[in-house]
Amino acid sequence: MPIQKPYEQKRNLASPNQNIAPLTTEIDESGKLMVGGCLLSDLASRYGTPLYVIDETGLRVSCKAYKESLDKHYQGDSLVLYASKANSSLAISNIINSEGLGIDVVSAGELITALKGNLSPDKIFLHGNNKSDEELLMGYMNKVTIIIDNEHDVKRLSNLIPQNADPARLMLRLTPGIECHTHEYIKTGHLDSKFGFDPENLENILYKLKSCDFAKLEGIHAHIGSQIFELNPHQDLAEVLGESLKLAIEIGHPIKDLNIGGGLGIKYVNTDNPPTIQSWVETVAHAITKSCSDKKIHLPRLICEPGRSLIGSSGVTLYKIGSRKKIPGIRTYLAVDGGMSDNPRPITYQSKYSACLVDRPLSPTEEVVTVAGKHCESGDVLLKDLAIPRSSNGEILVFFATGAYNASMSSNYNRIPKPATVLVQNGHADLIQRRELSEDLLRYDVVPDRLLAVI
């Protein structure tokens, strides 16, 4: 079988989403793997495993790629938002802010992180298909843009915002009815979706919002999915959004923003071939420009909200190899000290990854193994059929392209603490999220007095 060696592949320095390994990945003189100028085995020794590692350079290059491409290909104003559900922390929020991007959030926790991470409220957009009163009120009080997803949002806002108060800044999400080739669970644009207003209800909700004193509708939003390798669906989306924009303007809404969502995929394995950031932006920008020109409406501020394609390829996860089980004629299981609690994507989406030994990436392969996690689930398998050198207990494995949705979807299944995260650049490593301790998992446990009574 072909051997995956992402660290040897020619890298696209302008579009990190096309690389399996982080942008700054290299082999040192002794043949060991480095990211951000730091030996991965040294990071594992210093911070423990499992360990999330983020390449700051790669993240910043991705941010610049989106911004510069929009400046080049779109004649109107534009704004890039980081979809913080991909990986949310104070440090990452600060990086996003320093690169001039905004951010989208889907909960009170992500909103607080963005605000404390120095994002300006006018660059924060609050999503969610079932926002709580707390989240809506927090968004309103902090003057962020609230994306209304359904009638429930409208009703709650009408009750929460006092009469004669400043109206809420709103954007309306619609379901465009566009299919694309991605996993069923991450399709959000087709009509059978929990997200957004259906097209046949658009006119009614636009007229309703026009009569609401608490509402200032400033934008239209749609999103067609995640990990997308196709460009044509975004051209179709531009036409749907153009029609919706024209209708909203005719009804009298002060629309200035058009948010086309995100969804650009990244390279996890050699067979993946996502478009570049530049080609995605060019396609979107030209499609929106044409749609607006055809309908004789002014160019809106074009907003996009990438998440995975900004940070996914810049992250890796380090694991320590533990037990081994060989089933003759079937497979060899190699267990690591993490698994589905720090990366639920394989068991949830059947996601595939690339991996190697950090200190022997160039050594000849001698065995094919299945990398299993340590959790009490037969399905806790991170990677099947990995070709590597004969490995030993205690060696470190690195999984590539884990910057998106690994830390943010992690759990405490089996009461296993969550990993630490370090940020690397130019030979420096900084802890940006501390490792949980087993004792931390007891912080919110409460034992009723009656269970403590002596029998």
Check: CB of residue 425 under 8 Å from CB of residue 56. Answer: yes
Residue 449 lies in a domain: no
192 inside domain: yes
Question: Is 146 found in the same domain as 124?
Answer: yes
Backbone phi, psi, residue 122, to 5°: -75, 0
- The closest of 84, 149, 143, 139 to 117, measured between CA atoms, is 84
SS3 (DSSP) at 369: strand
448, part of any domain? no
Residue with tokens 């709650």: 156
Tell me how far CA of residue 340 lies from CA of 135, 355, 379, in angstroms.
29, 16, 9
Contact 147, 172 (CB under 8 A): yes
Q: Which of 288, 306, 324 is the last residue of a domain?
A: 306
Instruction: Classify residue 223: in a domain, yes or no.
Output: yes
DSSP string, 383-405: EEEEEESPP-TT-EEEEES-SSS
Residues 291 and 222 in one domain: yes
pLDDT (0 to 100) of residue 191:
62
* CA pair distance 402, 319, nearest whole angstrom: 12
Segments forming the whole domain that contains residue 20: 6-55+312-437
Tally: H helices and E strands in the chain: 12, 20
Q: Say which CATH number the domain at 347 has.
A: 2.40.37.10
- 68 and 30 co-located in one domain: no
Six-digit token pair at 431? 């802890």
Q: Which letter, b or e, does each residue of 394-414 get, where b requires 16 or more Cβ atoms within 10 Å of its Cβ?
A: ebbbbbbbbbbbbbebbeebe
Report the distance separating Cα 75 and Cα 417, nearest Å: 48
Query: How high does pLDDT run on average in the chain?
Result: 94
Taking a C-beta distance cutoff of 8 angstroms, is the pair 402, 387 a contact? no
432/325 Cα distance (integer angstroms): 35
Distance (Å, whole) CA 421 – CA 57: 16
Residues ≥6 apart with Cβ < 8 Å to 451: none
**Statement to judge: residues 188 and 83 lie in one domain:** yes
Count of structural domains within the chain: 2
The answer to whether position 442 is within a domain reads: no
Q: What is the pLDDT of residue 7?
A: 65
Would you say 371 and 382 are in contact if contact means Cβ atoms under 8 Å apart?
yes
Q: Is residue 453 part of a domain?
A: no
Per residue of the chain (455 residues), what is the pLDDT tens digit? 344 466 666 789 999 999 999 999 999 999 999 999 999 999 999 999 999 999 999 999 999 999 999 999 999 999 999 999 999 999 999 999 999 999 999 999 999 999 999 999 999 999 999 999 999 999 999 999 999 999 999 999 999 999 999 999 999 999 987 754 443 333 344 467 788 999 889 999 999 999 999 999 999 999 988 899 999 888 889 999 999 999 999 999 999 999 999 999 999 999 999 999 999 999 999 999 999 999 999 999 999 999 999 999 999 999 999 999 999 999 999 999 999 999 999 999 999 999 999 999 999 999 999 999 999 999 999 999 999 999 999 999 999 999 999 999 999 999 999 999 999 999 999 999 999 999 999 999 999 999 997 65
Q: C-alpha distances in angstroms, 242 versus 135, 238, 260, 300?
A: 30, 6, 11, 10
Instruction: Please choose, from the candidates 177, 128, 175, the residue with its C-alpha nearest in 3D space to the C-alpha of residue 148.
Output: 128
User: How many Å apart are CA 148 and CA 131, to the nearest integer?
Assistant: 9
Residue at token pair 């499992």 = 50
Tokens, residue 249: 């303007």
CATH number, domain with residue 261 = 3.20.20.10
Are 364 and 426 contained in the same domain? yes
Same domain, 39 and 69: no
Question: Do residues 67 and 22 both lie within one domain?
Answer: no
**Contact criterion met (CB below 8 Å) for 86 and 119:** no
Give dist(CA 389, CA 384) in Å, integer.
15
Quote the pLDDT of residue 181.
47
Instruction: Verify that 262 and 227 share a domain, yes or no.
Output: yes
* Residues 57, 174: Cα–Cα separation, whole Å: 35
Q: Could you read off the pLDDT of 417-430 as tens digits, one per residue?
A: 999 999 999 999 99
CA angle 306, 261, 172 (to 5 degrees): 140
Same domain, 19 and 96: no
Q: What's the distance, CA 351 to chain centroid? A: 15
Last residue of a domain, one of 257, 279, 306: 306
180 included as an active-site residue: no
Residue 264 near residue 304 (C-beta atoms within 8 A):
no
| Residues 279 and 331 placed together within one structural domain of the fold | no
The one-letter amino acid at 445: D
**Same domain? 347 vs 425:** yes
What does the pLDDT look like over 377-391, one tens digit per residue?
999 999 999 999 999
For residue 239, is it within any domain? yes
Same domain, 174 and 268: yes
- Domain-terminating residue out of 271, 306, 341: 306
Is 291 a member of any domain?
yes
